[in-house]
Structure 1
Amino acid sequence: MKRKQRHRLRAAIVGGLFFAWFVAIGVRAGYVQLYNGNWLSHQAAGRYEREVTLKGKRGTVYDRRHETLAMSIETTSVAAYPGMIEDKARAAADLARALGLEAKEVRRRLDSGRSFVWIKRQAGPKETAAVRALKLSGVGFLPEHSRFYPNGVLAAQVLGFTGVDGQGLEGLEFYYNGDLQGENATVTVVRDARGRGFGTLAEQAAPRAGGDLVLTIDRQVQFIAEQALTEAVSEYQAQSGMALVMVPRTGELLAVAQYPSFNPNAFGRSDRATWRNRAITDPFEPGSTLKIFSAAAALEHNISAPDTIYYCENGTYRVAGHTVNDTKPHGWLSLQQIVKYSSNIGAVKLVEQMGPRLLHTTLEGFGFGTRTGIDCPGESPGALSHYKRWTVVDTGAIAFGQGVSVTALQMIGAAAALANDGILMRPYVVQAVLGPDGQPVRTTTPEALRQVVSPQTALTIRRIMHSVVTEGGTGVQADVPGYAVSGKTGTAQKIDRTGSYSRDRFIASFVGFAPTERPAIAVLVVIDEPGKAIYGGLVAAPVFSRIVRETLGYLDVPPGGHLPKLRVAVDAEVQG
């Protein structure tokens, strides 16, 4: 009997202890839930939840014929939850090997003390597959978009590029970033204790995509210009080059070619100096291409006629203690022949008769010294000082393209105004911005800035410029069989570090349009510091000819338009 009582007592004590233990656990659980619930939830979220911002797909950039120039493709980024990784050293080594990273850098991220870290953004398909095969706890994969330029270096400086976060950093990607970038969506990524994903609190939010751009650039014309330019820079061992193609009546740019270029798919591997669009950012002294605008000023203000003659001093002329030289000695030349033979002395004599005010007014009207307002970042206004600050020497020098700086964009825009009956158009490179539904949000229409010179003056200058490519002119190598073309050569000395004109560093250029009577395109070629030859007629004119020939053929512009009567009149020697 006593033994049975002892068993009951022992059972009661054990039961009481268990009951007390369960009561204690219950009280503790209640206390934790009631008083520490928020704190614990926060701690859990910090360990197993992470808010990640996903960007909407960036818009596509098309050329004028809707050929793709820039697009976004779906990629996968690799992330990690360090708190869920037991052997960080081994995980770092495995991840580094699979992703082509430094093991020390991966280990540093895993040891950062943060609950979530990126291991590699926008990893390649093979890299992603290699990481998945590792089956590492605490490693996850998030969908993103990567920018891809299917044509490589084509129009690289115009397009620009984006960073890893999809933010436009250069070119149109930067300028139109607000239109191209998609909307952001925040997704809460949830992981279990083993690092496995089991959903998102945002129910797979889908960010809104960005808008598309339709450019004025034509991929084929751009290719023609880039190929011709690249071969010329290589042949003449030049430092760099630019070639622009514009539609005179609208201001649309069909091509903006530059060499050297870079691949925006791997912009980090190239020199930063190649990233900028030098056609709009870098001013230079134009040299003799500016003579066509000096001549236009004289004609427009009735200072001279095409057959008005000037004595060109047989190649040497003194102006206020300074000597002006021509490459070849000339006696009497008409205004037509001053342009044809590119006489510096003839240009100085012309401006001496005209005066600085009218020259400045005309150059300013053509857009020199002010920004064009093109829809690209970083445009330079060039430099054209006020005529009241010009000395006699300054006035003469500006007449033939020294003492003034222009951008390639300003030069082709001014030349295109002569091709467009004297009307200066605002240049642009984006035709339209399309919404995610493909419908236009904004469109760009051609904008006439002003009538710089009369249609008659513009036509006369076009015909004078046609003589430049005929026999005896400085630009015969710019001629295009089957078409009447107009143009002007330029050879400008560069300024060295001392502020003096260099004797061995030049810019060779050629600007013109075709066909002469009704120009379909205007073309500018600029070759910086050519090594084998220095003159625009030898270095840049053949590039102009090739671009014009191939572009007019591509655009189906019919041949014809020769001006035989003009050739006879201009080629006749003026006696005196």
Structure 2
Amino acid sequence: MSDDIRSGVTPRRPPPLAPMGGVRYGVMMTLVLVGLMLLVGRIVDLHVFDRPFLQGQGDARTLRTDTIPAHRGMITDRHGEPLAISTPVVTLWANPQDLPADDIQRLMLARALGQELDALNERIARYAEREFMYLRRRMTPEAAQQVLELRIPGVHAREEYKRYYPAGEVTSQLLGVTNIDDIGQEGLELAYQAHLAGVPGKRRVLKDRRGRLVRDLALLQEAQPGGDLTLALDQRLQYMAYRELKAAVAEHDADGGIVVMLDAQRGEVLAMANQPSYNPNNRAGLDPQGLRNRAIVDVFEPGSVVKPLAMAAIMESGQFDKDTVVDTSPGWMRIDRFTIKDVRNYGELSLAGILEKSSNIGMSKLVLQLDDPLVPEVYRRLGFDQAPGTGFPGESGGSLPAPVRWSSSQWAALSYGYGLSVSALQLASAYTAIANDGVRMPPSLLRLPEPPVGNSAIDPDVAHDLLRIMEESVQPGTGGRRAGVPGYRVAGKTGTVRKTSATGYEKDAYRSLFVGIAPVSEPRIITVVMIDHPRGDDYYGGAVAAPVFSRVAGNALRLLDVPPDAREPES
């Protein structure tokens, strides 16, 4: 019993709650009913009258349009051998916001990707506010599948293609490369990007909220593969030319070198080798010097290898014939303020003798007697001072100064290969006129469906005479004797030219050259060899470049199954 009861005091009860006023109650119930009616009305509206909107919102969260990668076109040699192909690869990407924070799963992912855990965590943190990041690009399908089998949330795959070059460094400067997105960046990959690149396709897919594929719904647009490209190149000749060039550059401790081989009748490029080179399949530690296709992009003073071309202008002038004799004594001469020299005093020389001995004095005396500037005119007809027209990125047209107020020394220098610049490809193309009855064939990097129409550059009779004279220049006892090919008649010209720098001609730096035609009876190939700055006692074209021509041309003639045409020695 409580103390209040025992004391006789009645306890006080709390006052009763005041009842809600009728007006206020009615307002509250009205608001609740109106809210319910609005909610029901919106539900009915979405499900009956505005159903497409609701369906669209749901589809936006589940339906996706995926891109189907297009296969890049293949590049092949003239016989269909692959030089550049695209192989399927897988790129892994992730939504950083969906990646688990669990250290164990992160460690498993890093190991499967071949990465360090700290590096992976750092990248994830850097992309934490975004919904996309690459985990690793261009993985083999097998390696990517091992990562996907871990079933780590937020990790996704995308199919792509990677360019592969079976010939590696042998054809790298000519073909060029593509970037990580399979877009051409150098060489023919860049020049024919629009042709080689395909058109990606599209497909409608259903994915869950984590971006995982649930169902493939429809193909919206088929992927269109890129077009193939067939080069004039013969892979057999290319391998052989590159091997011989690389060996020669190493043997002479040279800075680099070039070999260009053309089909004499069609102008097609059968081989184009450069040193230094690089492996396009593994560009780690790439030396930028190896990227340039020196045969097309680089130009240089050609030296004595243009003397037969200058001689064509001299013979066409009508002022001289092949029996003309020039006195080159005493082996040097002063023109303006310059001294021109021969290797020694050759005395009286015929036109053939001037080419055979490579006499600067003989060429200078002949050119200075010409009434008109025929030498630069013939040079231009032969393709100098104009781009070859191959479409190769950065191809150079060289330079040929206009004959305005030229001094006598400049006219003379032009006849023996100084004062102008050409590329190796331009040189080879110019020599097609000598091999092809005076008609120059424009060079082509692509295999031609039909024989091209050439340009008449020099008189046919002059071309025949020059071919015979150049054949005598590679006989035993001449400076070009090492260019001979057993079993075949060869015509050619050596050249040794001093290199230039920002301050003028370098003292002990040369380029060694040889340009040859084989076989003489029915010319099939024209080959240019240039060795850049050979070091050592041998630096003359006849000692350095001519032997490379002999090996390259000899192997090429046998690979092309060209019958020997050498005269049988008299018994």
Shorter-chain TM-score range: 0.7 to 0.9
1:476 aligns with one of 470, 474, 481: 481
Q: TM-score, normalised by structure 1?
A: 0.86
Aligned positions of 1:134-145 closer than 5 A = 134-145=150-161
Rounded Cα–Cα distance in structure 2 between residues aligned with 1:355 and 1:67: 53
Aligned positions of 1:99-248 closer than 5 A = 99-101=113-115, 102-104=119-121, 106-108=123-125, 110-114=127-131, 116-187=132-203, 190-203=206-219, 206-248=222-264
Q: Pick which of 308-317 and 242-251 moved more.
A: 308-317
Deviations 1:289-326 (A, max 9, x none): 01111111111222322231111123211111210011
Show the counterpart of 1:528: 532
Deviations 1:113-137 (A, max 9, x none): 12x4332232123431331232111
Rounded Cα–Cα distance in structure 1 between residues aligned with 2:41 and 2:271: 78
Does 2:502 align with 1:488? no
Show the counterpart of 1:362: 378
The runs of 5 or more residues in structure 1 that have no matched partner are 1-17, 432-442, 566-576
SS at match of 1:417: helix
Show the counterpart of 2:76: 62
Rounded Cα–Cα distance in structure 1 between residues aligned with 2:395 and 2:148: 47
Show the counterpart of 2:362: 346
Show the counterpart of 2:419: 403
Question: Deviation at 1:277?
Answer: 1.6
Show the counterpart of 1:537: 542
Does 2:296 align with 1:280? yes
Q: Which amino acid aligns with 1:511?
A: V
Distance 1:35 1:110, change over 3 A: farther
CA contact (8 A) 1:375 1:428 kept: no
Larger radius of gyration: 2
Question: Deviation at 1:260?
Answer: 1.1
Show the counterpart of 1:552: 557
Deviations 1:248-292 (A, max 9, x none): 111111001111111222245412232222111111000110111
CA contact (8 A) 1:509 1:525 kept: yes
Show the counterpart of 2:344: 328
Rounded Cα–Cα distance in structure 1 between residues aligned with 2:539 and 2:528: 17
CA contact (8 A) 1:95 1:106 kept: no
SS at match of 1:540: helix
Distance 1:98 1:322, change over 3 A: same
Deviations 1:101-156 (A, max 9, x none): 44156415642412x43322321234313312321112122222111111212211
Rounded Cα–Cα distance in structure 2 between residues aligned with 1:45 and 1:95: 31
Distance 1:44 1:527, change over 3 A: farther
Show the counterpart of 1:463: 468
Show the counterpart of 1:447: 452
Distance 1:187 1:93, change over 3 A: farther
Question: Deviation at 1:201?
Answer: 4.9
CA contact (8 A) 1:47 1:83 kept: no
SS at match of 1:162: coil
Rounded Cα–Cα distance in structure 1 between residues aligned with 2:136 and 2:218: 23
Rounded Cα–Cα distance in structure 1 between residues aligned with 2:343 and 2:186: 42
Show the counterpart of 2:13: none
Show the counterpart of 1:513: 517
Q: Which amino acid aligns with 1:76?
A: V
Distance 1:187 1:110, change over 3 A: farther
Question: Deviation at 1:562?
Answer: 3.8
Q: Which amino acid aligns with 1:113?
A: R
Show the counterpart of 1:299: 315
Q: Which amino acid aligns with 1:69?
A: L
Q: Pick which of 326-335 and 461-470 moved more.
A: 326-335
Rounded Cα–Cα distance in structure 1 between residues aligned with 2:73 and 2:531: 35
1:421 aligns with one of 431, 437, 455: 437
% of aligned pairs identical? 37
1:78 aligns with one of 73, 92, 117: 92
Q: Pick which of 353-362 and 519-528 moved more.
A: 353-362
Show the counterpart of 1:571: none
Q: Pick which of 299-308 and 23-32 moved more.
A: 23-32
Rounded Cα–Cα distance in structure 2 between residues aligned with 1:161 and 1:147: 8
Distance 1:414 1:375, change over 3 A: same
The aligned length equals 535
Show the counterpart of 2:272: 256
SS at match of 2:542: helix
SS at match of 2:143: helix
The runs of 5 or more residues in structure 2 that have no matched partner are 1-31
Deviations 1:392-436 (A, max 9, x none): 1111111111110001110000012211111011111112xxxxx
CA contact (8 A) 2:46 2:53 kept: no
The structure that is helix-richer by fraction is 1
Q: Which amino acid aligns with 2:192?
A: Y
Rounded Cα–Cα distance in structure 1 between residues aligned with 2:193 and 2:168: 20
Question: Deviation at 1:388?
Answer: 2.2
Rounded Cα–Cα distance in structure 2 between residues aligned with 1:24 and 1:89: 48
Distance 1:178 1:127, change over 3 A: same
Question: Deviation at 1:375?
Answer: 3.2
Rounded Cα–Cα distance in structure 2 between residues aligned with 1:88 and 1:558: 74
Q: Which amino acid aligns with 1:186?
A: K
CA contact (8 A) 1:425 1:446 kept: no
Question: Deviation at 1:357?
Answer: 0.7
Distance 1:32 1:343, change over 3 A: same
Show the counterpart of 1:13: none
Q: TM-score, normalised by structure 2?
A: 0.87
Rounded Cα–Cα distance in structure 1 between residues aligned with 2:562 and 2:351: 31
Deviations 1:416-467 (A, max 9, x none): 2211111011111112xxxxxxxxxxx6534334211122111111111111
Distance 1:46 1:117, change over 3 A: farther
Deviations 1:11-63 (A, max 9, x none): xxxxxxx9999989756756887999999888877765655433310111111
Q: Pick which of 104-113 and 264-273 moved more.
A: 104-113
Q: Which amino acid aligns with 2:381?
A: G
Distance 1:80 1:296, change over 3 A: same
Distance 1:52 1:238, change over 3 A: farther
Rounded Cα–Cα distance in structure 1 between residues aligned with 2:418 and 2:517: 23
Show the counterpart of 1:4: none
Distance 1:40 1:311, change over 3 A: farther
Rounded Cα–Cα distance in structure 1 between residues aligned with 2:466 and 2:565: 19
Question: Deviation at 1:96?
Answer: 3.7
Distance 1:320 1:454, change over 3 A: same
Rounded Cα–Cα distance in structure 2 between residues aligned with 1:515 and 1:428: 21
Question: Deviation at 1:356?
Answer: 5.7
Deviations 1:505-554 (A, max 9, x none): 11111001101131110000011111122111111000000011000000
Distance 1:104 1:280, change over 3 A: farther
SS at match of 2:170: coil
Q: Pick which of 446-455 and 247-256 moved more.
A: 446-455
Show the counterpart of 2:281: 265
Q: Pick which of 220-229 and 528-537 moved more.
A: 528-537
Show the counterpart of 2:10: none
CA contact (8 A) 1:306 1:335 kept: yes
Show the counterpart of 1:434: none
